[in-house]
Amino acid sequence: MATRIMDEAAKVFADPKSYTDEAALHAALTHLRANAPVSWVDVPNYRPFWAITKHADIMAIERANTLFTNSPRPVLTTAAGDDQQAAIGVKTLIHHDDPEHRAIRAIGADWFRPKAMRALKVRVDELAKRYVDQMVAAGPECDFVQEVAVNYPLYVIMSMLGIPESDFPQMLKYTQELFGTDDEEMQRSSSIEESMGVLLEMFAYFNELTAARRATPTEDLASAIANATIDGEPLSDIDTVSYYLIIATAGHDTTSAVISGGLHALIEHPEQRRRLRDNMDLMPLAAEEMIRWVTPVKEFMRTAQQDTEVRGVPIAAGESVLLSYVSSNRDEDVFDEPFRFDVGREPNKHNAFGYGVHFCLGAALARMEVNSFFSELIPRLNEIELTGDPAYTATIFVGGPKHLPIRYSLK
């Protein structure tokens, strides 16, 4: 029987509130990296798992994608949440393993490659300008997260999918409810069943979209998914709606968290803001640093298919490992002064987009959105300050700031 030592600090992973207090969270993660980099976590309401906090271990696990699979437990939820999701049968890209995963991923992949991104750039730049102009109109004060950051990536991804603009607010609400199930302000309800109702409503919405695009194909990503075939067969209904679901959710809350968390960092580090403004060629590096700094996707999981070990700790077949991207992106063995926000950081080997076969499909889009937004904002920004305390979402999966009250003057 393997030794299973649980370090008390590892409880942070199963406590949504821990992500609302970054200082306490990072103190716990730093302790784990130094003392228990592979820690057993067995707490009420969750099935037990191993918490992996070192960058090198996470990369090795992601590389070994047949030994460590995404199925059956791709992200951490409560045991009740695991059961509900299994009952609903949700099967997005992150629930699949190869070979199905590779075939299904290929359907959407061209839409997110650099060539497609270059074609989209003019539009994304225009939208960045539109949202910075809106800041001017709303100024001199706003809640940057709710008034600006959430809307801009939402607009981009929903337009790509082909969702009508009148439905964007509903899509935003669904995503916030889905990722905010652990946050009292964002959640629809504290009951698991009612929270899962969000998923069912999204499925109903997307089933209608599939039917419409199969009846009359258009030029959007929704049509490409609805009419795709694998070995001559269309995708199953559950694979089709799940595809929409992951793109419609992963495609904006993540990027908006980076934009608002990135702005928060620039407010707290005015010397870095000036450095960037004086040398806008640093923008691509600054965008990577914001993505590392915020790491909006907190974790993904893998499950061992046979007995193995990580850093000498035995992991039995059937046991799950949680990959803490938040921890690996502050790993002292990989980053020089990991707690320094440095808009010129180079190299910056963060793994906020994961690694290997499941590497984030939308990484090039997210990078472009962050670049376009700050390329518009920074040269126009005279002054900026906080007018209250920022608040972070309680989550164990995806999140970042939910309120960032600011006062500013813009050209």
C-alpha dist (Å) from residue 54 to 31, 57, 169, 367? 11, 5, 38, 24
- Can you tell me which of 359, 383, 385, 409 binds ligand HEM, judged by CB under 6 A? 359
CA 104, chain centre distance (Å): 20
**Min. distance of Cβ 20 from ligand HEM in angstroms?**
19
Tokens of 74: 């791709």
- Can you tell me which of 93, 124, 198, 394 binds ligand HEM, judged by CB under 6 A? 93
**Min. distance of Cβ 35 from ligand HEM in angstroms?**
25
Looking at 43-51, 233-241, 270-278, 290-298, which segment touches ligand HEM (CB under 6 A)?
A: 290-298
Query: Does 116 participate in binding ligand HEM (rule CB under 6 A)?
Result: no
Q: List, as own/partner pairs, every contact residues 333-340 make where C-beta atoms lie below 8 angstroms and the sequence separation is at least 24, other chains included.
A: 333/54, 333/55, 333/56, 334/55, 334/56, 335/292, 339/26
Per the document, the length of the chain is: 411
Looking at 80-88, 118-126, 333-341, 361-369, which segment touches ligand HEM (CB under 6 A)?
A: 361-369
**In this structure, what are the phi and psi dihedrals at residue 401, rounded to the nearest 5 degrees?**
-65, 140
**Min. distance of Cβ 141 from ligand HEM in angstroms?**
26
Query: Does 68 participate in binding ligand HEM (rule CB under 6 A)?
Result: no
Query: Does 263 participate in binding ligand HEM (rule CB under 6 A)?
Result: no
Please name the residues in contact with 333: beta carbons below 8 A apart, sequence gap of 6 or more: 54, 55, 56
- Can you tell me which of 9, 250, 334, 377 binds ligand HEM, judged by CB under 6 A? 250
- Can you tell me which of 145, 266, 310, 365 binds ligand HEM, judged by CB under 6 A? 365
Cα dihedral sign for 74, 78, 79, 85? negative
Tokens of 285: 């590096």
Instruction: Please state, in angstroms and rounded to a whole number, the distance separating the CA atoms of residues 118 and 123.
Output: 10
Query: Does 296 participate in binding ligand HEM (rule CB under 6 A)?
Result: yes
The single-letter DSSP state of residue 47 is -
How many residues touch ligand HEM under the rule CB under 6 A: the total is 29
- Can you tell me which of 61, 224, 247, 396 binds ligand HEM, judged by CB under 6 A? 247
Q: Which residue lies nearer to ligand HEM by CB, 71 or 134?
A: 71
Q: Which residue lies nearer to ligand HEM by CB, 368 or 408?
A: 368
CB 55 within 8 A of CB 323: no
Q: State which H helix or E strand residue 309 sits in.
A: strand 308-310
Q: Which residue lies nearer to ligand HEM by CB, 196 or 361?
A: 361
Nearest to 409 by CA among 126, 151, 132: 132
- Can you tell me which of 163, 199, 258, 322 binds ligand HEM, judged by CB under 6 A? 258
Query: Does 360 participate in binding ligand HEM (rule CB under 6 A)?
Result: yes
Instruction: Please state, in angstroms and rounded to a whole number, the distance separating the CA atoms of residues 9 and 5.
Output: 12
Query: What x-and-dash track marks residues 136-175 binding ligand HEM by CB under 6 A?
Result: ---------------------x------------------
C-alpha dist (Å) from residue 33 to 13, 152, 330, 365? 14, 36, 10, 31
**In this structure, what are the phi and psi dihedrals at residue 7, rounded to the nearest 5 degrees?**
-85, 130
- Can you tell me which of 132, 287, 326, 361 binds ligand HEM, judged by CB under 6 A? 361
- Can you tell me which of 179, 300, 341, 408 binds ligand HEM, judged by CB under 6 A? 300
Q: Which residue lies nearer to ligand HEM by CB, 16 or 251?
A: 251
Residues that bind ligand HEM (CB under 6 A): 62, 93-94, 105, 157, 246-247, 250-251, 254-255, 258, 291, 296-297, 300, 325, 352-356, 358-362, 365-366
